[in-house]
Structure 1
Amino acid sequence: MRKRMITAAAAAATLLLLADPAAAAAPTPGAAGAGDAYYPTYGNGGYDVSHYDIRLRYQPETDQLQGTTTILATATENLSRFNLDFALDVDEVLVNGRPAAYRSTGEQELEVTPAAPLARGSRATVVVRYRGVPSKTVRYGFNAWLRTPDGGVIAGEPEGAWWWFPSNDHPFDKATFDVSVAVPDGTQAISNGTLVSQRSELGWTRYNWRQTKPQATYLATLAVGKFDITTGTSPSGIPVVNAYSKDLGDNDGAARASVERTGEIVDWLSGYLGPYPFTSAGGYVPNVTTRYALESQTRVFYSPRQFANGSNTSVVVHELAHQWYGDSVSVQRWSDIWLNEGFARYAQWLWSESEGEGTAQELADWVYASHPAEDPFWTVKPGDPGPDEQFALPVYDRGAVAVHALRNTVGDQKFFEILRGWPAERRFGNATVADFRAYAEKTAGRSLAEVFDTWLFTAAKPAAPTVPTGSVGFAARTTAPTEPRSWQKIQAATHEH
């Protein structure tokens, strides 16, 4: 009886292998890149991450970082080896509890060879123990770790994870996160999501943050330093956590006057974009010399210099709009960046309308009139700008004009239905520009090929479009438009990255 059972089981396994050729395929190395044309070496193939557990110890005085990251992943093919993206020094790698061979190659590739191959569909637990001085780690000629007088900050796009945790570093592979950081007493550690616990022992305080919604690796942030932390809720009840370095100097008041309006602005945006997708919101302003802001999921990074000319709620609107367009719905590949920046910029235009500082039509007119046909501005295609122009001005401004052209084409009722419906349709997922066009056409009940091709994929200044009856737009003006009052504050968000 036992022999017949074994024979039957073997026969069943044979049939399974015959039915599924991929399951019978010999294990091979996973790709050392996600297949993104803009950044061929970023991300990796062969597996899908579901969760990162990042446990760190950081000494601000020396910038010494020690860490253990546990990665939960599922093999999507039969793997003899796989890659992680990482730049610090590795001490040990375990795969499913067994020591794995590893080596660093290229700029940020960590090749891992498990003791036994991973079968397609199997789950793997990968543990990486590491250490390093992030501020002294340079890759591709740059360093993304921002040193501050009292600690360090990581907030960067399209990369940043390499300097503090190993990952599959591409937006297409989103995961949940637990981030636990021990720092000397008197210093705080800030990350995404919700602070679930905090404990002090033997001169060190450990902060435990949790992000329960899928998050792209570049949207994971860490800030260590001495902060003034404020907490509260939005009018609708969303928890808000903001933090400010205690040495912001002349920019302190303007920064607080802007970022402390986060709760109000989140609720305002919800009226246009639908329910806020996450369980907390907020931002932080560390003492750094950078000029950009970044839409780190639930905990936006702002540079103090963005408030050097006074308060600027428009920048806050831009970054918070990304929580829907960019964070909840993320790009499938980096060429789809218009889905992030065009809509975040347009949210600023809607804010300008609500503040009486210039309508969206006036802002679109200003962009159109400000750039003559021979201006290189029009050679950048927001729908596929190329890696060198990914964060160039046209992706923002021409990208927002494209959004407005869509609005004028389908009318306000359908436009705001699209604007609100899209984040619900793709909640916590990824999408391409083509996906958005298909959704917009389905909602509008008509082809939108001309709008998308003209404003997103034509490397020339389009002819002035028509506008709804009763509106004064590009072609109907008899005099040059004047600069809207909101323009300079809107532009402060352009140097985001």
Structure 2
Amino acid sequence: MDTVPGMGWPTAVVSALAVFLSVPAPGAAGIGDAYYPDYGNGGYDVEHYDVRLRYQPATDELSGSTTISARATQDLSSFDLDFLLDVRSVVVDGRPAGFVRRGDHELVVTPARALRRGHPMTVRVTYSGVPSTEVGAGFTAWFRTPDGALAVGEPEAAWWWFPSNDHPADKARFDISVAVPDGVEVLSNGTMPRPPALESPGWTRWSWHSAKPMTTYLAFLAIGQYDVEQTRTPDGRPVIYAYSRLLTPEIAAAARASVGRTTEIVDWESSLFGPYPFEAEGGVVTPPGVLPFSLETQTRPAYGTRQFQRGPDLGVVVHENAHQWFGDSVSLARWQDIWLNEGFATYTEWLWSEHVGEGTAQETFDALYDAFPDDDELWKLPPGDPGVPVITPEVYLRGAMTLHQLRATVGDPTFFRILRAWPTIHRYGNGDTAQFIALANRISGRHLDAFFQAWLYTPVKPSRDTVSARAQGHGSKMRA
């Protein structure tokens, strides 16, 4: 338990008393997530990150600074940032600040003057290091490649390259720029406000701007040798694709045949979920054998090559771009509700199969339901409360099955109204399961609490034949 030096009292207790008494106190070392209690931080809300770096692929050396624009939400004597690299200096509101390490990823900053609640604060952290050698939470989210690096991960990714309030509950806008040796490409989120420009002899700076709020784990870097293709949608939105030059011809062809259809897929998803929420789209296909997964990095998913080893895979493109609505625009308020991301993206794959005539969602549901017997592990882990780690098959499959049974229960017109309303109401914000259930109840005019209890929170196989009838009752209080 973290304690305040010289007092021995828990930091959370001192912070609560300080808020009550209106005296400066340390911000909490966690944002309050039950699954990841030391992720994110209390006492401030970030509005903007300006990440300005230099990276040398030959040695994996990263250096630079991040300037954080934030607002204090309490009177602060100190506050935490989540970060792993070596810090050279911290400046708060133009004055040098003290800083000290605590735990494996906490950087405790003590400003020269206490910060009052509501105060707009500017924090500049200067740092350097070799990210691939740093371990936090038992692993690294910085992947070295033969020609550069990837900063991609969930639920952690920021610690290895910029200090942050690392939790989806605190979204912010981003400017990211990285100088690299000439001939190396840098991909990130959003749009390029200017073309890559010579910074000094032998070095080129790439700049990226994200106009909409983004959670920290969705900010990414892909550095290396990439073929970059730029086009625009009919209404003028930039589309940027990047394919690693290390791909084999077979994987490159399969990746292009899949990722190259992003605009078509986004247009179809927009017809279901409402207007595409961001200023750019596209995708980055990373070097082979490096990234063991794909991730819905905002505006531009990062794809591992595993999905394309057997040929084109439109399903992964459908999935990661569905996340632009479910997970990116509407982000988690707490990690327990990860099914709101993964269940929705998985069900969108089922809807795509239905759309292109490759099998209905009902057929997919029936095949899965029948494939797993009553005692299978799939039914023992409730997707609405999966525990840690949060990325599990149950979250994906039972989450999607929950949505399909909701569709069967309320009917297509009502279901698709719910599906469209959720990302519309919470656009660029956060949401949780209780809010989704309340929305489903309101739009359907039914009491669906018992239905969601069965499909999201009960560690047994729900009955396919009785779930609709159960959903018509008054329900019971959710176990959330």
TM-score of the superposition, structure 1-length normalised? 0.88
8 Å CA contact 1:154, 1:160 repeated in 2? yes
Alignment-derived partner of residue 350 in structure 1: 351
**d(CA) in 2 for partners of 1:44, 1:33:** 4
Separation in 2 of the partners of 1:213 and 1:331?
16
CA–CA distance in structure 2, aligned partners of residues 421 and 191 of structure 1: 29
Which of 30, 35, 48 is residue 32 of structure 2 equivalent to?
35
Q: Deviations over 1:104-147 (max 9, x none)?
A: 11010000000000001101000000000011111222111011
Deviates more, 1:87-96 or 1:190-199: 190-199
| Contact in 2 for aligned 1:255/1:311 (Cα 8 Å) | yes
**Within-5 A mapping of 1:335-414:** 335-388=336-389, 390-414=390-414
The letter of the residue matching 2:260 is E
Cα distance in 2 between the residues matched to 1:160 and 1:94: 24
Unaligned runs of 5+ in 2: 1-17, 469-480
Q: Distance in 1 between matches of 2:150 and 2:176?
A: 14
SS in 2 for 1:465: coil
AA paired with 1:392? T
Where in structure 2 are the equivalents of 1:126-137 lying within 5 Å?
Answer: 126-137=123-134
How big is each residue's C-alpha offset from its partner over 1:257-305, in whole Å with a ceiling of 9 and x where there is no partner? Answer: 1101111111010011110000101110111423210000001010012
Instruction: Give 1:308-323 correspondences, 5 Å limit.
Output: 308-323=309-324
- Partners of 1:465 and 1:329 in 2: CA distance: 32
Q: Find the residue that maps to 1:315 and give its secondary structure.
A: helix
Larger mean Cα displacement after TM superposition, 289-298 or 119-128: 289-298
Indicate the SS of the match to 2:328.
coil
Q: 1:288 to 1:126 in 2, by over 3 A?
A: farther
1:408-443 CA distance string (max 9 Å, x none): 111100111111111110000001100111111111
- For structure 1, the residue ranges without an aligned partner over 5 or more in a row are 1-20, 469-497
2:59 aligned with 1:58: no
Q: Distance in 1 between matches of 2:20 and 2:218?
A: 34
Q: Does 1:122 align with 2:123?
A: no
Partner of 2:227: 228
Equivalent residue number for residue 276 of structure 2: 276
Residue 258 of structure 1 is matched in structure 2 by: 258
Per the alignment, residue 425 of structure 1 pairs with 425
Q: Distance in 1 between matches of 2:234 and 2:355?
A: 18
Identity, % of aligned positions: 57
* Mapped partners of 1:57, 1:125: distance in 2: 22
Q: Which amino acid aligns with 1:112?
A: V
Structure-2 residue corresponding to 1:172: 169
- Cα distance in 1 for partners of 2:237, 2:420 equals 19
- Measured in 2, the distance between the counterparts of 1:383 and 1:173 equals 22
Q: Which residue of 2 aligns with 1:464?
A: 464
* Contact 2:451–2:467 under 8 Å retained in 1: no
- Structure 1 window deviating more from structure 2 (72-81 vs 279-288): it is 279-288
Give a deviation string over 1:375-431, Cα, whole Å, max 9, x none. Answer: 11101111111113x211111111101000111111100111111111110000001
> Could you tell me which amino acid in structure 1 is paired with residue 198 of structure 2?
S
C-alpha offsets along residues 222-262 of structure 1, whole Å, 9 cap, x if unaligned?
11111001112235543211101101113111011110111
Letter aligned with residue 93 of structure 1: V
Provide the C-alpha distance between the structure 2 equivalents of 1:311 and 1:467, rounded to a whole number of angstroms: 37
Distance (whole Å) between structure 2 residues aligned to residue 464 and residue 350 of structure 1: 20
Query: Is the contact between residue 234 and residue 267 of structure 1 (CA under 8 Å) also seen in structure 2?
Result: no
1:70 is matched with 67
Which residue number in structure 2 is paired with residue 12 of structure 1? none
Distance 1:406 1:232 in 2: 39
Paired residue for 2:455?
455
What is the alpha-carbon distance in structure 2 between the residues aligned to residue 142 and residue 346 of structure 1?
Answer: 30
C-alpha RMSD of matched pairs (Å): 1.3
Q: What does the per-residue CA deviation read over 1:431-461, in whole Å, with 9 as the maximum and x for residues that have no partner?
A: 1100111111111111111221111111100
Partners of 1:251 and 1:304 within 8 A in 2: yes
CA contact (8 A) 2:246 2:288 kept: no
**Counterpart AA for 2:152:** A
Which amino acid counterpart does residue 248 of structure 1 have in structure 2?
A: L
Q: Which amino acid aligns with 1:244?
A: Y
- Map of 2:6 onto structure 1: none
Deviates more, 1:290-299 or 1:328-337: 290-299
Distance 1:381 1:233 in 2: 42
Query: SS at 1:195's partner residue?
Result: coil
CA distance in 1 between counterparts of 2:158 and 2:465 reads 43
Using the alignment, how far apart are the partners of 2:354 and 2:71 within structure 1? 47
Paired with 1:71 and 1:438, the residues of 2 have a C-alpha distance of 35
Residue matched to 1:200: 198
Secondary structure class of the residue paired with 2:84: coil
Show the 5 A alignment for 1:95-110: 95-110=92-107
Quick one: distance in 1 between partners of 2:344 and 2:135? 33
- Structure 1 segment 271-310 matched on structure 2, within 5 A: 271-289=271-289, 290-310=291-311
Given that 1:235 and 1:264 are in contact with CA atoms closer than 8 Å, whether structure 2 keeps it comes out as no
Partner secondary structure for residue 109 of structure 2: strand
Residues 88 and 131 in structure 1, CA contact (< 8 A), matched pair in contact too: yes
Distance in structure 1 (CA, Å) of the matches to 2:375 and 2:350: 26
Counterpart contact for 1:367–1:398, Cα < 8 Å? no
Q: Secondary structure at the match of 1:196?
A: coil
Alignment of 1:83-162 (within 5 A): 83-162=80-159
Cα distance in 2 for partners of 1:167, 1:356 equals: 45
Deviation at 1:22, TM superposition (A): 4.9
Amino acid at match of 1:125: T
1:243 maps to 242
Q: Does residue 215 of structure 1 match 2:214?
A: yes
Equivalent position SS for 2:70 = strand
| Equivalent residue letter for 1:61 | A
Query: For residues 261 and 345 of structure 1, what CA distance do their matches in structure 2 show?
Result: 18
Which one has the largest radius of gyration? Answer: 1
Give 1:24 shift: 5.7
